[in-house]
A and B are shown apart, each in its own frame.
Chain A
Amino acid sequence: MRGVLGFLAPKLLRALVAVWLVTTVVFVVMRLSGDPVPLLLPPDAPTSEMERVRRDLGLDRPLPVQYLTFVGNALRGDFGRSIHFREPAWSVVVRYLPATLELGLTSFGLALVVAVPIGMLSAIKRNSPIDQAAMGVALVGQSAPTFFLGIFFILTLSLWAGWFPTSGRGSWEHLVLPAITLGAFSMASIARLTRSAVLDVLRQDFVRTARAKGLPELTVVMKHTFKNAALPVVTITGLQFGTLLGGAVVTETVFAWPGIGRLAIQSIYNRDYPIVQCTVFLSAILFIVLNFAIDLLYGVLDPRVRPR
């Protein structure tokens, strides 16, 4: 048990420091970005009214006090009231969260389901036309800018082919294009990495032994190679999730998908600090929790990194 603690404690500490840093940076940047009060009131509002609103929002207090209040409240999930929606920021963000999770998990699942088999196939049939075509597409997918990919899909698959709606959320058809757009980068990275990880393993002596004793190639790949190649794939998969969260901002904007990414962008334009802080805080936490989980999974997959 102590060994496990010794293994986890430093990681946990680092994760907490990261969360704190992220929160602080968000606070500072948002507070620097100007006074939201004039945006909330008509331009001819009297000064006394502006003062009252400022006091209501706690903006009249010294910055350090605002900061401490902010951190204390954030720990309790209280990010204050949204200036634009006039309700607690937390409940607004939570309302937008399912759309983002739906999109994020779909594209993540799609990326994994498509990329891992393709990467394995590419490795097994290396330098074949299949391999070269797959890796060519992967290279393009990895360097294609998300926003243009989205526009391109809207143009070709929605407007020209008429297969999918151009924007919005609703039926499963609405989900297809945003999910592919958002997942493209991860799909490409995971496919390329799976390929090189499998190739690495295929070169090992134990694979040669397995082949030498006459095992069918399928058994060699499924039983001896896949498990050993999983480690780097799991690592990059965790990192990809962070990229997905960032990509959601762009994808949701392109497809008018009502998730927290689009909410964050709109809130920045509205200078709605509480919402922005809440979304960023939530994304950072999600990312950190996920990487923590991946560290644990690592221990399961690779006994060598397990604490003794």
Chain B
Amino acid sequence: MTDTAWIDAALTSARPQAVGALLRYFRNLDTAEEAFQNACLRALKSWPQNGPPRDPAAWLIMVGRNVAIDDIRRSRKQQPLPEDEAISDLDDAEDALAERLDGSHYRDDILRLLFICCHPDLPATQQIALALRIVSGLTVKQIARAFLVSEAAMEQRITRAKARVADADVPFETPGAIERTERLSAVAAMIYLIFNEGYSASGDTAEIRSPLCEEAIRLARLLLRLFQSEPEIMGLTALLLLQHARAAARFDGEGAFVLLDDQDRSLWNQKMIAEGLALIDKAMRHRRSGPYQIQAAIAALHARAAKPDETDWTQIDLLYGALEVMQPSPVVTLNRAVAVSKVRGPQAALEMIEPLAARLSNYFHFFGVRGAFLMQLGRNDEARVAFDRAIALANTSAEAAHIRMHLDRLMRDSQPRGSRISKK
């Protein structure tokens, strides 16, 4: 790795902590970002000559703060403001920073920075874009590319989001235990959203969107390092790792979606699986279950099966049952039905999803799954109707192509035997 590449990595890794501290110091997102940017420019000049500092984040905070204060001083000199007032302001702030450098606050700094991005007024897409810009430091161009929108549109989205959080009035005091827990769960949900943005990509866009998955994993690990003993954060990190471990097997050469049962398991990333399994093991020890842990445990059962028919579907059914209690949702029941179809057969599974029809009447996966159960039961005409509906509701071309594959199979199977023989 070249020197500059090392510096890039150091700047990226120091970013959440440095911007978080500068934000607490200046209480303004734009000022904090600009201060960090200026500090980075100085780092690029100074580090290659003097070598990297022992604590890059502390260096960047110190330099960023000094540059910004210089700017403030300069602009205040041009205005008729009493100089001593400015100085006393700075003295207070200086104390606050000294506190930070003891390391006592940095956990809450980073959490606050992440939390600001998931303000409830912001739609999910804006939350994610803002976090990727501010916390991860991705360029607008990179984010636009990952979201498949134009740079101008993404610039506008981020600007709008920033304006909204600027008005939002997030408290800067050290949060209490309850508030911290609330922030933590909002931030975890946002990291999961970032991951899903990348994970729900179709085959032709998976390549350019997968950095979103990697960034989500990096943020989850960051959060876990700050909150070492939170089983749900372990569960979240495990879940992301176990799902992303399958990335290379999820699409075939033509970009078509490959079902879990049909994936080439030798393509699964064993290192990510090992880390995911280690984390879920750690989490389970706490005996404080939660939705991320359960979903991770389900992913772990898939990861542990060397072949599809070694999958412990009974256990998966039980885990989905627990998830249904914790987080009742027709989508969870739909997923559970797939496990039920493996354990108790397609008839039981079909009966389970019939009551969901009204609520999932516009949900692609509902009709895909329903069609598959009907097909297994040999009710081909009904299956065809369900698959047709699924295609109409498909979100990506890969989804539609996958259903079309089922339809083709139905067509083949429904042809009278004689007609195929007669082709000879």
Whether chains A and B associate is no
